[in-house]
Amino acid sequence: MTPDKSDTNAGRLQHQKEWLDSYRPRLRVSEQGYVVSVGDGISWISGLPTAAIDDVLLFDDGSRGLVFDLTQGSVGAVLLHATDQLTAGTGVTLSGRQLSLPVGDALLGRVIDPLGIPLDGDSPPKCDGYQPLMQASPGIVERDFVHQPLYSGCKVVDTLIPIGRGQRQLIVGDEGLGRSSLALDTVINQRDQQVHCVYVLIGQKRSTVIDTMELLRRYDAMDYTTLVVAEASALPGLQHLAPFAGCAIAEYWMHQGRHTLVVYDDLSTHAKTYRELSLLLRRPPGREAYPGDIFSIHASLLERATCLNAAHGGGSMTALPIVETQQGEIAAYIPTNLISITDGQTYLDAELFSGGFRPAIDIAKSVSRIGGKAQHPAIKREAGRLKLDYLQFLELEVFTRFGARLEAAMEKSIRRGRLLRELLKQERLSPKSIEFQLAWMIAYNDGLLDERELSAIPELLAGLETQVAGSGLSLDEGRERWAKQLRGWLSAETEAQP
């Protein structure tokens, strides 16, 4: 039903009359600054003595900026939006507000920039409210212990390097080893898990952005995911704000009592962008030319990921930051910073990748410091000795390279280790259910797979996955029932072979 135009005009006139009746003349003081210089995504401004860090600036040409640095006579700002008319001498005023972006369920399935502007061609989302990008992390009295698992669908991660809801788990490795694929697998595996996901792409090529969006749509993951994009051609200020925007979106849902997952892809690019802005603003450089506060920038971001207690809604935000290494140098500046901030790391190794072990996770260098507390007792029981067995196998396998004769017990250990390595292999974009993972671990621990040829393992696991999916068995079933079912399935599969 369309409202009458005369009613609309009458309402507008009534509003104007009320404004005029309430208007009172008084002295108004405002600051008017002007641009001293502009270039490379930053601007120096004079004439704003009360400007504060993170204040939003409005330029007369329609550009927007964010106060990023303060000196005695001028203000350094990063540009969030710049027009072609922005030049030295352009007037600047304080907006009087902090930077925020729209949040709410309307963002699910959308692709936006760090300011909430849609990039997918659709109309602006009708959100529930606004959330500041920069705010303090939850206090210690608001937090709870990580006690619920977040399943990635990756066999290595869910069994040997588990993640809990509210945990910060770093994904570290060289370029091209599958870091983003592991994060995307985790997002895809959250279907039907009531977990809202935010995937942040920082300084990525447009082709990478499109591929990520199409992949998530292909697996129906965009229904519960928001993409925050600051591509490589975006202003450095937007690239710097991208992870904080993704965090704010997830934080809104967390404070509503929901569970969220946010992926930062990747924080190496973010650190380089922050270094670029800091050097342009003439801040003193430190190690590897990074500014001295790069650690606190990443710490303030990742500390906002947590698990809230029941008194504060019981929501959680799990963070999967990604960082790039050069030639496997895990002791570089930014990786070591992030390792010290997070609750564990998943390390991908180039030699394992070249050797055909996918995902190329180095179990010896990977750790989850708190994820084990959130594991289901059945998974924790079966996975307890797998990691130790596998690490011992890697040490024993070295002896086989010398052609030395081995004892029978050592040969058996090596064979079981090779079997376990084959069981842990997994193709990308094929997340596995946690029930299936319990099934193969019980089968391995009970020796039901010892006589199988390694070449037959992939086909056997595919059949086992189908059997588990149709069985209706859950993690809470007794171990004896699981073992009995597995013996029956594997015996039937053996008899069916020609």
The residues carrying an active-site annotation are: 369
Contacts of 364 by beta carbon, 8 Å cutoff, 6+ apart: 391, 394
* Distance from C-alpha of 441 to C-alpha of 423, rounded to nearest angstrom: 9
User: DSSP secondary-structure letter at 164?
Assistant: B
* Distance from C-alpha of 261 to C-alpha of 325, rounded to nearest angstrom: 23
Nearest residue to 111 (alpha-carbon basis) of 222, 260, 252: 222
- Preceding peptide of 125 cis, ω within 30°: no
Q: How far is CA 254 from the centre of its chain?
A: 15
Tokens of 390: 């596998």
Strands in 275-377 per DSSP E: 316-324, 344-348, 367-368
The residues pairing with 112 across neighbouring beta strands, listed in sequence order, are: 118, 228
Nearest residue to 204 (alpha-carbon basis) of 234, 174, 177: 234
Contacts of 393 by beta carbon, 8 Å cutoff, 6+ apart: 413, 414, 416, 417, 418, 420, 421
User: DSSP secondary-structure letter at 307?
Assistant: B
* Distance from C-alpha of 461 to C-alpha of 464, rounded to nearest angstrom: 5
User: DSSP secondary-structure letter at 4?
Assistant: P
Contact status, residue 234 vs residue 262, Cβ threshold 8 Å: no
SS3 category, 220: coil
Contact status, residue 334 vs residue 358, Cβ threshold 8 Å: no
The residues pairing with 338 across neighbouring beta strands, listed in sequence order, are: none
Q: How many CB atoms lie within 10 A of CB 402?
A: 6
